[in-house]
């Protein structure tokens, strides 16, 4: 189960002071059988810390609400520069570009695109294969 | 944050008299935190307004909804759903939210349920105090983080007036003298030389005295409209 941003320690008695005082109605509870479950809705939470202030047991661990945590949103396969291998853009964007423009024949990062374009008029310029070789 | 007060119930009732169905729209931002315009207050207000004594005719039907931030035009345009038979909106947003709604819903009367009062913070639970007037030329560097424009009753910029008594203001004895607070804090920080510095006549144009202010940030491309 994903950890909630809103967390309480084991001093929580389920008194519902936080639920009753939350101005954003971001806290709720569910009584089922012998259990009371405290619920939190981050989309509603205004991070105002009223819960922290009203809790009679000092059970609210508000630092989790302020946690600088990154959630993974999407993972996309990337097209890489044919020379240096740096990621350029996603395959999805590549397909979108291909549908709107002429087919892309080379996939190069800005640095290698500049080198590639400059080489055409520059005798003795490196080929892509030569550039791949490590320099001493 | 922006702090607002609920208008008197009689004034709100008079402003929605004659409409048949009114959307009572809360805002999930500042006014939720200062407990005047959140969803809970919207339900309270709907309950209070449901009493027929406030209206000479039939009270309007009230539908409560909340939107996260009434001041974000594109979010309001995309996510605010108004039932077609609503003939007015009673907004519990601040003045910015009310105007954003009015710009988006030009065919509907948008009625404010709050009066926006100040930019402030809660010094203690349930007590919000004014801290900033948005003057556009912040002078907190030399005043130890205490704004004399917002917190001195006379907005004096060069020390206290002669009416400061026992650390309090002559206009309202409940209000601490801002300049005494500034002096004490500068003294604590060993920066009393700031008390000697004279603030000359200010240019009040950045404070909005030359018309509504605008801020532009280049490089924020208009993206695809939120669906």
Asked if residue A115 and residue A78 are part of one domain, the reply reads yes
* Other Cβ atoms within 10 Å of A104 Cβ, number: 11
- Looking at residue B225, its pLDDT comes to 53
Residues B195, B94 share a domain: no
Amino acid A89: pLDDT = 92
Instruction: Give the residue ranges of chain B where pLDDT is below 70.
Output: 221-227
Instruction: Please list the ranges in chain A whose pLDDT falls under 70.
Output: 1-2, 103, 119-136
Same domain, B109 and B16: yes
Residue B140 structural domain: 134-199
Domain that holds residue A57: 7-64
Whether A52 and A18 map to the same domain: the answer is yes
Whether residue A11 is found in the same domain as residue A56: yes
Q: Are residues A15 and A59 in the same domain?
A: yes
Chain B residues near any Cβ of chain A (below 8 Å): 28-29, 32-33, 35, 38-40, 68, 125
Question: What pLDDT shows up at residue A124?
Answer: 42
Calculate how close chain A gets to B221, using CA atoms only, in Å. 18
Q: Judge if B8 and B57 occupy the same domain.
A: yes
CA distance linking residue A45 with residue A61, whole number of Å: 15
User: Does residue B101 sit in the same domain as residue B156?
Assistant: no
Smallest Cβ–Cβ distance between A53 and the set B33, B68, B125 belongs to B125
Residue B18 sits in a domain of what CATH number?
3.40.50
A53 and A84 belong to one structural domain: no
- Reading the block at residue B140, the tokens are 């907190």
d(CA B32, nearest CA chain A) in Å: 6
- Find the residue in A nearest to B26 (Cα): A24
3-state secondary structure of B200: coil
User: Which residues between 5 and 24 in chain A have a beta carbon less than 8 angstroms from any beta carbon of chain B?
Assistant: 23-24
Count of the separate structural domains present in chain B: 2
Q: How many angstroms separate the CA of residue A135 from the nearest CA in chain B? A: 38
B225 in a structural domain: no
Q: Please state the domain count of chain A.
A: 2
In a domain, B126, yes or no: no
Radius of gyration of chain A (CA): 28
Tens digits of residue pLDDT in B52-90: 899 999 999 999 999 989 999 988 998 999 999 999 999
How far is it, in rounded angstroms, from Cα B55 to Cα B14?
7
Question: In angstroms, what separates the C-alpha of A37 from chain B's closest C-alpha?
Answer: 22
From chain B, the residues in CB contact with A44 under 8 A are 28
Q: Helix, strand, or coil here: B3?
A: strand
Digit-coded pLDDT (tens) for A64-90 = 888 878 889 999 999 999 999 999 999
Q: Contact B36/B4 with Cβ under 8 angstroms?
A: yes
Contacts of B89 (CB under 8 A, 6+ apart): B22, B23, B25, B82, B101, B105, B108, B109, B110, B111
**How high is the pLDDT of residue B54?**
94
| Short-list B96, B132, B91, CA closest to B114 | B91
pLDDT at A117: 77
Walk across the sheet containing B2-6 and list its strands: B2-6, B114-124, B127-132
In-domain check, residue B89: yes
- Looking at the fold, whether B101 and B17 belong to one and the same domain comes out as yes
Do the Cβ atoms of A46 and B35 come within 8 Å? Answer: no
Check if A48 contacts B (Cβ < 8 Å): yes
Interchain CB contacts (distance < 8 Å): A and B: 24
- What is this structure's pTM? 0.80
Please check whether residue B86 is in contact with residue B108, taking contact to mean a CB–CB distance below 8 angstroms.
yes
**Tokens in use for B118?**
């100040």
| Domain shared by B23 and B111, yes or no | yes
| Chain B interface includes A42 (CB < 8 A) | no
Same domain, A86 and A60: no
Which pLDDT score is estimated for A105? 76
Residues 6+ apart with CB under 8 A from A133: none
3 state DSSP class of B128:
strand
């Amino acid at each position: 189960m994903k950890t909630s941003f809103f967390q309480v320690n084991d001093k929580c008695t389920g008194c519902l002071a936080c639920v009753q005082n939350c101005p954003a109605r971001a806290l709720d509870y569910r009584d089922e059988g012998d259990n009371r479950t405290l619920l939190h809705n981050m989309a509603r939470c205004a991070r105002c810390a009223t819960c922290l202030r009203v809790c009679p047991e000092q059970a609210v661990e508000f630092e989790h609400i302020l946690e600088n945590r990154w959630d993974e949103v999407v993972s996309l396969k990337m097209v890489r520069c044919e020379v240096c291998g740096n990621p350029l853009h996603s395959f999805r964007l590549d397909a979108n570009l291909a549908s709107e423009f002429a087919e892309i024949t080379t996939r190069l990062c800005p640095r290698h695109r500049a080198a590639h374009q400059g080489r055409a008029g520059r005798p003795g310029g490196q080929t892509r294969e030569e550039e791949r070789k490590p320099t001493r | 944050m922006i702090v607002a007060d609920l208008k008197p119930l009689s004034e709100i009732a008079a402003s929605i008299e004659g409409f048949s169905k009114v959307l009572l729209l809360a805002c999930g931002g500042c006014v939720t935190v200062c407990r005047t315009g959140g969803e809970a207050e919207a339900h309270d207000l709907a309950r209070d307004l449901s009493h027929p004594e406030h209206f000479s005719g039939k009270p309007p039907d009230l539908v409560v909804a909340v939107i996260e931030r009434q001041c974000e035009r594109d979010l309001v345009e995309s996510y605010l759903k108004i039932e077609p038979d609503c003939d007015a909106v009673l907004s519990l947003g601040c003045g910015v939210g009310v105007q954003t709604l009015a710009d988006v819903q030009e065919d509907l009367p948008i009625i404010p349920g709050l009066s926006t009062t100040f930019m402030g913070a809660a010094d203690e639970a349930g007590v919000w105090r004014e801290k900033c007037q948005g003057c556009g030329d912040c002078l907190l560097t030399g005043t130890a983080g205490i704004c004399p424009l917002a917190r001195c009753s006379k907005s004096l910029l060069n020390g206290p007036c002669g009416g400061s008594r026992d650390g309090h203001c002559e206009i309202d004895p409940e209000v601490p003298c801002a300049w005494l607070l500034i002096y004490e804090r500068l003294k604590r920080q060993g920066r009393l030389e700031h008390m000697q510095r004279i603030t000359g006549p200010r240019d009040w144009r950045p404070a909005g005295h030359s018309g509504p202010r605008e801020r532009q940030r280049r490089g924020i491309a208009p993206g695809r409209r939120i669906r």
